[in-house]
Amino acid sequence: MNEIFERGLQQSKNGKCLGQYNTETKTIDWFNYYDVMQRMKLIADGIIKLFNLKPKKSLLGIYSINCMEYTLIEYACYQHSLVIVPIYDTLGSNIASFIANQAELTTIACDTIERLDRILEQAQLFHHLKHLIWLKTNDQQITIEIRNKVMEKGFQLYTLKEIETTGADNPIHDDNKPKINDLAIICYTSGTTGTPKGVILTHENIIASITSISIHLMDQHATVDDIMISILPLAHMFQRIGEAAVFIEGGKVVYYSGDIRQLAQEILIIKPTIMLAVPRLLNRIHDTIYSKVRNNILKRWLLHLAYRQKHKYLARHVIRNNTIWDRLVFNRVRKNFGSNIRLICVGAAPLSSDVLDFLRVAIGCVISEGYGQTECVGPCTATLMGDETTGHVGPPLVSCIVKLVDVPEMDYNSCDGRGEILVKGPIVFQGYFKMPQLTSDTLDKDGWLHTGDIGYWSSDGTLRLIDRKKNIFKLQQGEYIAPEKIENILINSQCVQQIFIHGNVFKSMLIAIIVPDLDYIQSLSHQQRLNLQQPLKECTEQQLNSQPLQTNRLKELIINDLKRIGQANGLKSFELPKNIYLRKKLFTIEDGLLTPTLKSKRNAIHNYFTKEIEMLYKELEQ
C-alpha cells in the first residue's frame, strides 16, 4: 500500500492527485502527487517521533468523515508499517470506545470539534488513549480552551501542522516499509446484528483486491484522466479500495464537503467520471425521477417512450449518452451527475433489476454491480463489461475461487447449483481481531470464507443472490424465513421507501415496519378511494396508524401492493407481512437504525419498535 502513490506519481507525471471541495470559493483545491507524498512523509516521521509508535506493531485510529487529510494520515501510516483502525463517523462514542479498547489504541485522529467532544465526554471509557490528533490542515478551531479541556481529561492534543513540523525536524531514514504479509488495516464491520467485528487485512489482501478489480473492469478501469468523487465512508473497504484503484493509475480523487444536503450542487462542480454507490442511493435517484413525472401524463409518456427506444441500444450491449432521447429527456438526469460520469460501481446490497436497467439507460454509463464482504476486502464477484443483463452479480474475480455448499436446513443442494457462497484466495481476511471462536466459525481450516449468503450459478457462469443464511428464523409452524431476501423483493413496491420484516418462532405470521412513499400514495388516493380528510403528508404517524387493520384503507392498499409484488417474485403466502406499522420518518444512520453502508440494523430496529411490534401482533390475534 505504501507504493501506490509512487506509481500514481509516475503514471500521472506529477499530475493532480487529491482534491478538496472548498465551500467558500465553490471550487476544488487541488494537490499534485509529489506534494501529497512529501506531506505523507512528514506526517509519517512526525507520528513515529511524537507518539512512540512501533512499526509493524502499533495501531492508529482514524475517527473522521472522508477528507483529504484522512488519506494523508492513512498512507503516512503505511510508510512505517503502522496498522490503521478506521472508526465509523456515525458509530457514536460507545462503539468508538469499544473499538478503541479492543484495539488498545493510544492515538486517535479526529476531524471535528464534535468528534473530539464525543471522546472527551466519555474519556473514562477510552482505557488506553493518550494522544488525539486534530486531522484538519486548518487548525484555527483549536483554541487554548480546547487544548486545556483535552489536558484536563489526561490526553495530549497535536495538530497535523505540528506533526508535519516535527517530521521535518526529525526525518527517519530507517527502512520500515511493510512486507506483503504485514497487517495493514483492522476494519470493523458496521454490524447489522450486534457488536462490530474487527476484520484483519494484510497488504496482500488489499493489493490483490485492487488489481483484480482493475483486471475485471478491462478497458473501463481507472486511468490518469479519471476523477472519482469520495462519497461512501472511507471506513468502509469498498470506498478505500476504489480510491486506491484510482491512485495506482495516477487518477484524481475529490472529497466533497461532507454536507449531504449540498452534495447535489457540489457534484456539478466536481464533475466526476467514476463514483461508487450503494443501492439505496440509486433507488432514491430512480424514485425521484419518476416522482417528477408521476402527475403529468405527457411527461410520463415521454419518459417511458424514451426509455423503450434507448433500451434497444442496451439490448445490443451498447451504452450511449448522445442519442436524440438523451437530448430530449435523459441529459437532465446525466447532468445531475456532473455530465462526465462514465462508470458507477455498486455494492453492499442487491440492486433491483428494474432500477439497474433504467439507470443504465438514463445516465448512459457503465454500471457494474458487485458482491462481496469486508472479510474478502471488497467484491469477490462483479458483472463483466459488456454484459448488460440484470439479476446477477457477475462471475468471480481473478483473485478468488467461489463455490457453493449444501444448506440442508434450507433445502439448498449444491448439486442443483444452489447453496451457501464460500470464497477462497488472497483476498480472504486473516480472521477477526481478538475473536478466535468467531474466526473459526467463519473461516474454516482449509481457508474458505463462509459468507452466510445463498447463491445460485446461472448457466452463463454468473452468480445470483437468492437467499440469506444469516438472520434466518423459523415461524411457529416451522417455516424458515430469510427477512433480508423478502425485504429486497418488497422494496420494489412504489408504495414503500423502506421496509423491515419481523417474525419469530412464537408467531405464525410476519409483520413489517414500513416507511411509505406518501407522495406516491397521495397520487393514487382518488382511484383507490382512500377518502382522505387531509393530505397524507400532513397526517401524524399516530393518525396513519390509528384505525384498526380491518378498516385502515391506507394499510390495505400497501399490504395488497406488497402481496402483488411478492407473488410476482415467487414469495409464498407465509413470507408476506399480514400487518404493518407506518412510520413517517426514514430510518437513518443518526437514529442508529442503519449501518454506515445503509443496511438495516436488525436488532436496533427491533428494539426501537418493540411496542409497535407487540401492537401489530395483538391486532392480528383479535
- Domain map (residue ranges) of the chain: 4-218, 278-468, 473-621
Contact call for residues 580 and 545 (beta carbons, < 8 A): no
- Name the fold adopted by 4-218: Rossmann fold (3.40.50)
Task: Please give the C-alpha separations between residue 68 and each of 18, 36, 64, 77, 203, in angstroms, as whole numbers.
Answer: 7, 10, 11, 15, 21
Nearest to 311 by CA among 375, 390, 242: 390
Contacts of 148 (CB under 8 A, 6+ apart): none
CA dist 561 and 567 (Å) reads 10
Task: Please give the C-alpha separations between residue 310 and each of 25, 66, 360, 384, in angstroms, as whole numbers.
Answer: 39, 36, 10, 21
DSSP 8-state class, residue 568 = H
CA dist 14 and 35 (Å) reads 9
In this prediction, residue 529 carries a pLDDT of 61
Task: Please give the C-alpha separations between residue 356 and each of 278, 305, 359, in angstroms, as whole numbers.
Answer: 12, 18, 5
Amino acid in the structure at residue 547: Q
The per-type count for the chain, helices as H runs and strands as E runs, is: 22, 24
Residues 493, 495, 497, 500: what is their CA dihedral angle, to the nearest 10 degrees? -70
Number of other CB atoms surrounding residue 317 within 10 Å: 11
Number of other CB atoms surrounding residue 205 within 10 Å: 29
What does the H/E/C string look like for 494-561? CCEEEEEEECCCCCCCEEEEEEECHHHHHHHCCCCCCCCCCCHHHCCHHHHCCCCHHHCHHHHHHHHH
Q: Do domains 4-218 and 278-468 have the same CATH topology?
A: yes
CATH class of 278-468: alpha beta
Give the bridge partners for 467, in sequence order: 454
Amino acid in the structure at residue 457: W
Nearest to 380 by CA among 332, 442, 450: 450
CATH architecture of structural domain 473-621? 2-Layer Sandwich (3.30)
pTM for the full predicted model: 0.82
Contact call for residues 105 and 84 (beta carbons, < 8 A): no
In this prediction, residue 71 carries a pLDDT of 97
CA dist 523 and 527 (Å) reads 9
pLDDT along the chain (622 residues), means of 10: 95 96 94 97 96 92 95 96 87 78 96 92 94 90 91 95 95 90 91 75 97 94 96 91 97 93 91 91 83 85 93 88 92 91 87 87 93 94 89 94 90 90 97 95 95 92 85 76 88 92 87 92 68 78 86 90 92 92 90 80 88 91 77
Nearest to 475 by CA among 575, 600, 610: 575
Strand-strand pairing, 107-110 and 83-87: unpaired
CA dist 29 and 254 (Å) reads 9
Q: How many residues does the chain have?
A: 622
In this prediction, residue 239 carries a pLDDT of 94
Contact call for residues 481 and 512 (beta carbons, < 8 A): no
Per 3-state DSSP, the chain is made up of helix, strand and coil in percentages (nearest 5) of 40, 20, 35
Cα 365–Cα 589–Cα 228 angle in degrees, nearest 5: 30
Contact call for residues 132 and 156 (beta carbons, < 8 A): yes
